[in-house]
Amino acid sequence: MDFTFNEDQQALRDSVSRFLMVEAAPEKLREIWQTDAGRSSELRAKLAEQGLTAMSVPESLGGLGLGDMDWSLMNQELGYFGIPDSLADTAYLACALLAALPPTHALRATWLPQIADGSARIALGHPVNPWVADAHLADLLLLAHPTPHGTQWHALTLDQVKHTPCASIDSSRRLATVEWTPTPQTLIAQDAQGQALADDLLDRGALCASAQLLGLAQRMLDLTVDYAAQRKQFGKPIGAFQAVKHQLADVVTKIEFAKPVLYRAASAMSQSEAQRSVRISHAKLACADAGWFSARKAIQIHGAMGYTWEVDLQMFMKRAWVLDAAWGDRGFHKHRLSHALLADDALLGPGATFVTNP
């Protein structure tokens, strides 16, 4: 199995990184987050021009037709630059859910082209997440309704729901509780099909959060390395002290060990492997641990000033904390992982790493 990203994938990642370095600088994000909406239509339009909103849309509907492996790279960049999660919610998660509907379903032809050109914002409600992100700006809400026979999915517009804002420690997040009533007119999938969509969305959402956490871990490490090179004590940069070097090296180790776990999970998702949920839970735990550890060491080296609004670190640190619990907290993913590992027929050991569909 080859985990090497091809030249096109690396070129796309590098071009997006250069674009975000200019268009999503921390000072610009602060200005956006202090607005009432917390979002910038201008930034979204520029992201669409870069092709990010069209990545997962099928080529027949105006998209690029890219998959989970490509998004494992892009979501790291979105995490690294602190881009609000509504972009991935629409362009990656909602797009995959709509694309999984029957080819003749009206929602596919209506909304996928709008996702591709960046004109649509879609909010997602899943039982694993108690709040809905960006509900206040959504052109369409795709909401799950659990039933004894499986999960129903309903498509609603903003005037069909009541949303109440919820505060978050992360200024980039716009969360809300959403009250709504399922009706036959809003129903788009149910029973086994609806449950399959819910399971697929949960796995893909956890994979998305994992990649963003890894990007956040790397950004916090880079910020801390820069700070350690500039901050001086006893006439020399604090980065010259062995104790600081060791802590930064520990963060690098966490990040590098999490990367192959993430890419293996993305491969499992793209190939619809039978054990993909186990791989993804492993990735969420590894990437969440890397994000949490990087934040802890960064705030330790920055000192208390790292938590203040003026310092960039707090933007990425707080986001890592909230993504730690998004799309299933650690307890949820540990339960899924332990259930698979302790099963009588569990495939364990190095020889089982690349087994796809046992």
Beta strands, E only, 3-54: none
By the 8 A CB rule, do 32 and 43 touch? yes
> What's the chain's average pLDDT?
92
Q: Backbone phi, then psi, for 110, in 5-degree steps?
A: -80, -45
Beta strands, E only, 36-185: 122-125, 132-133, 140-147, 150-156, 162-166, 175-179
Q: For 173, left (φ over 0), alpha (ψ -120 to 50), or beta?
A: beta
List, for residues 269-286, the tens digit of each pLDDT value.
999 998 899 999 999 999
Half-sphere exposure of residue 87: CA atoms within 13 angstroms, side-chain side? 29
- Of the chain, the percentage scoring pLDDT greater than 70 comes to 95
C-alpha angle 6/60/76, rounded to 5°?
Answer: 40
By the 8 A CB rule, do 350 and 314 touch? no
Q: How many residues does the chain have?
A: 358
| pLDDT beyond 70 at 90 | yes
Tokens of 277: 């949920």
The band of 172, judged by pLDDT with boundaries at 50, 70 and 90, is confident
Instruction: Please give the average per-residue pLDDT across 43-49, as a whole number.
Output: 92
List, for residues 287-327, the tens digit of each pLDDT value.
999 999 999 999 999 988 888 888 999 999 999 999 999 99
Tokens of 197: 């969509």
Tokens of 40: 């910038």
Residue listed under structure tokens 């006893």: 234
Determine the pLDDT at residue 356: 64
CA distance 224 to 6: 31
Which CATH code for domain 1-358?
Answer: 1.20.140.10
List, for residues 193-232, the tens digit of each pLDDT value.
999 999 999 999 999 999 999 999 999 999 999 988 887 7
By the 8 A CB rule, do 220 and 313 touch? yes
CA distance 137 to 260: 36
Dihedral angle, C-alpha 291, 315, 240, 249, nearest 10 °: 10
| pLDDT beyond 90 at 328 | yes
| DSSP code string of 326-351 | TTS-HHHHHHHHHHHHTSTT---SGG
